[in-house]
Amino acid sequence: MAFLIFLLGKLARLVKLSWKYGLGLAGGCILLTALLISTTTAVTKDQIIDINLLAPPKEYLYSDVKSVWTGFGTKLVTVNRAERQGEFSYQIQLDGKKIVFMQPTVNQNLVPDDTYIELEEFDRQLMNLEIPKESSTEGSQYNELDSHYLKRFLRIVENK
pLDDT of residue 14: 65
Beta strands 133-136; 97-101: pairing state: unpaired
Return d(Cα 17, Cα 34) in angstroms, integer: 24
Whether 29 and 108 map to the same domain: the answer is no
Whether 84 and 138 map to the same domain: the answer is yes
Please report whether residue 44 resides in a domain. Answer: no
Please report whether residue 17 resides in a domain. Answer: yes
3-state DSSP assignment of residue 67: strand
Whether 90 and 127 map to the same domain: the answer is yes
Whether 70 and 141 map to the same domain: the answer is yes
pLDDT of residue 38: 72
Whether 77 and 151 map to the same domain: the answer is yes
Please report whether residue 47 resides in a domain. Answer: no
What is the count of structural domains for the chain? Answer: 2
Range of the domain at 32: 2-37
Question: Across the strands, what pairs with 112?
Answer: none
Print pLDDT tens along the chain (160 aa): 566 667 666 666 666 666 676 677 777 777 777 766 677 788 888 899 888 777 788 899 999 999 999 988 777 777 666 677 778 888 899 888 888 887 655 555 555 566 778 888 889 999 999 999 998 888 888 888 788 888 888 899 888 8
Please report whether residue 46 resides in a domain. Answer: no
3-state DSSP assignment of residue 61: strand
